[in-house]
Amino acid sequence: MSYRDKIPAMRRWVIKIGSALLTNDGQGLDLDAIREWTMQMAQLKQRGVQVVLVSSGAVAEGLVRLGWNKRPHAIHELQAAAAVGQMGLVQAYESEFQQHDMHTAQVLLTHEDLSDRKRYLNARSTLRTLLDLAVVPVVNENDTVATDEIRFGDNDTLAALVANLIEADLLVILTDQQGLYDADPRTNPDATLVREGLAGDVALEAMAGSSRGEFGQGGMLTKVQAAARAARSGTATLILSGRIDQVLTRLKSGEELGSLLYPSTQPMSARKQWLASQLKVSGRLTLDDGAVKVLCQGGKSLLPIGVTAVSGEFSRGELVACLDNNGMEIARGLINYSSAETDKIKGQSSQQIETILGYLDESVLIHRDDLVVM
């Protein structure tokens, strides 16, 4: 059975709708389109599908309401636009879902919410409870309080992390393109639609490029990267046009649409998914070839003897990235020693930790249970 054949049986979907679709490239909310997607999601519910909706459009709607023609760069102006636009966005969804006797819930998240383990678990419990209650969560980034340091950057990333949170079967990213092409179809008439691929394949990222629209933050590259993130929880991703007639119900019926990127490995444990989902690291460790091999192939803990360099300032328990000699991140995890302590014991055997520091907290820098290979 091909992966596409499994889609009709999938029961938990995260559906992400981009700004270009919702706002007609910045011309206000497209209420007719919202009405159509809402009707299709109601039909999905009737067919046994649980839906979480990740919706862009708050900032774009705020720009229209405020009479601004261009997206501002100042963070406080973006936050103000988000606050104004969120009212119209939520009102539109609530009104349309009520027509189908369905309840909605607004869920606003920042990266800080998901980087804290306790808040991460609380968000997961809330979303799962809402689904059990047959409520449609409408998720968006909390732009009103988010800063550059704690932003997801785009709702493609947020949608992937939500898929991890609820262990969704399918992430559907609706965009203004038919899917992923092997070249930019706007400039290359010979570009071919990629029907299927493995999430995380670096060749797909090369195809995606870095295009983006005026009113949205993402491009095709962020969608391909989101698919790789979603795959950590075993979630497949479909990238396709939201302007296809009855697009969601046709997917449920098994019709072959868009680009399907499916996971190539077994899902990570919930804790390792959380570790992998972090967008910010506090420091970096450069490892020798032996340590890289042990982490990637042996599933072992990281010992200080395998570390050749330490950069950044971090405390015990913070997240650090592990790099190979070429500077590529191969793993990340929660470290047992501060940056100053790690710098002193790097390249030394575990038996020397107490002699060098005068005490021994742990015999390993990062325990394998607190480490995820990227």
Summarize pLDDT for 245-283 with one digit per residue, the tens: 999 999 999 999 999 999 977 777 777 777 777 767 889
Q: Which of 154, 145, 55, 156 is nearest to 97 (CA)?
A: 55
Give the β-pairing of 319-323 and 329-334: antiparallel
HSE-up of residue 21 (Cα within 13 Å, Cβ side): 22
Summarize pLDDT for 143-188 with one digit per residue, the tens: 666 555 435 557 899 999 999 999 999 999 999 889 999 887 878 8
CA separation for the pair 42, 20 (Å, rounded):
23
CA separation for the pair 104, 130 (Å, rounded):
9
pLDDT category at 26 given cuts 50, 70, 90 is low
Q: Which fold has domain 3-272?
A: Carbamate kinase (3.40.1160)
Domain ranges of the chain: 3-272, 281-373
**Whether the predicted model's global pTM rises above the 0.85 cut:** no
Percentage of residues in the chain with pLDDT exceeding 90? 54
Question: Residue 308: enclosing H or E segment and its boundaries?
Answer: strand 307-311
Structure confidence at residue 145 (pLDDT)? 60
Q: What is the mean pLDDT of the chain?
A: 87
Summarize pLDDT for 125-154 with one digit per residue, the tens: 999 999 999 999 999 887 666 555 435 557
Q: Say whether 281-373 and 3-272 share the same fold.
A: no
HSE-up of residue 222 (Cα within 13 Å, Cβ side): 22
- What is the DSSP-derived secondary structure letter of residue 298? I
| Alpha-carbon distances, residue 119 vs 113, 146, 256 (angstroms) | 6, 16, 38
Taking the alpha carbons at both ends of the chain, their separation in whole angstroms is 28
Structure confidence at residue 21 (pLDDT)? 87
Beta strands in 149-298 (DSSP E): 170-175, 196-198, 236-241, 259-262, 283-287
**HEC secondary structure over 1-64:** CCHHHHHHHCCEEEEEECHHHHHCCCCCCCHHHHHHHHHHHHHHHHCCCEEEEEECCHHHHHHH
CATH architecture of 281-373: Roll (2.30)
